[in-house]
Chains A and B, each alone.
Chain A
Amino acid sequence: MKVSVDEAKCCGAGQCVLLAPEVFDQRDEDGIVVLLTPEPSPDQHSDVREAAAVCPASAITLHDGS
């Protein structure tokens, strides 16, 4: 699984960080998402999927299968 984030869409709600803190963080300057782990390990996949599904800005995209 590969993850990408769209900073321009992100509204800084922090849902992704609450769900998958090893994969996502928020910048100190403005609360916008930072991708820590673009290729999360299999045990992180379900949290990452949940984060992508609930992101209120639809700012997280998953590229499966790789």
Chain B
Amino acid sequence: MSPNEPAMRLPLPTDGPLEAPAEWQELRRKCPVATVELPSGDKAAYLTRYDDIKALLSDPRFARPTDRDEGAARIAPEGAGGPVANGDSSIAIATQGEEHLRWRRHVGKYLTAKRVTALRPGMVAIVESLVDDLVEQGQPGDLKATVGFPLPVYVICDLLGAPAEDRDRFSYWSDAFLNVSRYSTEEAQASYGEFARYMSELIAAKRAEPGDDLISNLIKDGTEGGEGLSDELLLSTGMGLLVAGHETTANMIGKMVSMLLADRTRWERLLDDPSLVRTAVDEVLRFDANFGFGVRRYLGEDVEVGGELLPGGTTVVCALSAANRDEQVFADAAEMDLTRAPNPHMTFGAGPHACLGQSLARTELQVVLEVLLRRLPTLRLAVPVEELQRVEGLLVGGLRTVPVRW
């Protein structure tokens, strides 16, 4: 990477809504540290090799850029993007060091594999009723709006202990936080205010009458002599989980179903052998080429990546989906293999910031797939694959709608 090189613009163009950009292979081979220009006009270093990205994400010295990191590249131009895209100023969750570790462990214990497994029957019931809605609304239906979008937010509401009747308000807020194209900055800000008020009331209610949900438990950890989380941190934990867990999972549900139906032999294979659901979900996660930007890191000091020295002050964009197609790591990387195992894809990141909700997300995807295979075995796309449209969200990639028939 040199400062005078003309920079590629992100996002890179693709041939179809589910295709990977042709540049990735070239970049991995010849230019593993490229220069890119973000929509804000700021420049960043762009990594595409599996080993380089894994090493950087595993390095505890580096974290996502915040507005304290002077000179860090912004994704969107000033003003656009709401509280999430412009650094994480309104999110009090620590991004680095001891404080981050403490927060992760506090919250992580409520997202362990065992806890998530206990949530599975509830998820099955939710998906069953969402599929009822889909069928009731008639054909063609939009699988993304009817199943993909509500499920993750319902699951997060259950996790936080918010009553079921408030689920739709959560959906709206979450969408307004992240959906830069559909809501103005004022709307995003107003939603944040409403969400903050709602969460403060919820926290007060849980203090008065604790349940077995995450908020009540985090409060209890504090009162039982441990170091609990302050109200401010509880609020940002709720916001953080919603922001991190809603659109990502909602979009992945839509993309998963599209990828599996795009070549219907994949769907039929799963109908024949539903025991492949687990490996199929991870393969879909690996294969997704429309993830959004990838994850960012701000380099507080010089570091060597792929034999090149990146100076302190650089912002790095790690193209996780490009790494997921690295032929050095994955045999037949460009092919979808529903039985692939082990599948060390990096769609959930790696290292100290690896997705804390990944067991939850995997379980949600598995449950959706199991229920759809059982309830709607004749499911198919209602439009040709090429007609699926990508969302132009800045942070999370997805498809605008997923029209299906059954």
Contacts and interface: CB of A to CB of B under 8 A. Distances in A.
B342 A17 contact: no
A57 B342 contact: no
A49 B344 CA distance: 12
Point out which of A13, A28, A29, A30 has the most chain B C-beta atoms below 10 A from its C-beta: A13
B113 A53 contact: no
A50 B341 contact: yes
Interface string B377-391: 000000000000000
A49 B108 CA distance: 24
A14 B119 CA distance: 15
Interface residues of B, number: 29
B356 interface: yes
A29 to B, nearest CB: 6
A21 B114 CA distance: 9
A51 to B, nearest CB: 8
Given A11-B352, A13-B358, A26 B112 contact: yes
Contacts of B111: 12, 14, 31
A32 interface: yes
B342 A50 contact: yes
Contacts of A36: none
Contacts of A58: 58
Interface residues of A, number: 23
Contact of B112 (A17, A49, A56, A57): A17
B354 interface: yes
B132 to A, nearest CB: 28
Contact of A18 (B58, B344, B354, B359): B359
Contacts of A54: 342-344
A12 B104 CA distance: 9
Contacts of B348: 13, 56
A11 B112 CA distance: 11
A49 B358 CA distance: 20
B342 A30 contact: no
A41 B344 CA distance: 23
B342 A12 contact: no
A2 interface: no
Interface string B103-115: 0111011011110
A46 to B, nearest CB: 9
B342 A13 contact: no
Contacts of B344: 53-54
Interface in B315-357: 341-344, 346, 348-356
A17 B104 CA distance: 18
A29 B112 contact: no
Interface string A40-65: 00000000011001101110000000
Given A12-B112, A30-B105, A56 B349 contact: yes
A31 B113 CA distance: 9
A11 B104 CA distance: 8
Nearest to B279: A50
Nearest to B345: A54
Contacts of B343: 54
A28 B109 CA distance: 6
A25 B104 CA distance: 17
Nearest to A12: B108
27 contacts: A11-B353, A12-B108, A12-B111, A13-B348, A13-B354, A13-B358, A14-B111, A14-B116, A15-B113, A15-B359, A18-B359, A26-B112, A26-B114, A27-B109, A29-B105, A29-B109, A30-B105, A30-B106, A31-B108, A50-B342, A54-B344, A56-B346, A56-B348, A56-B349, A56-B351, A57-B350, A57-B351
Give 5 nearest A-B pairs by CB, closest first. Answer: A14-B113, A53-B342, A31-B108, A17-B113, A30-B105
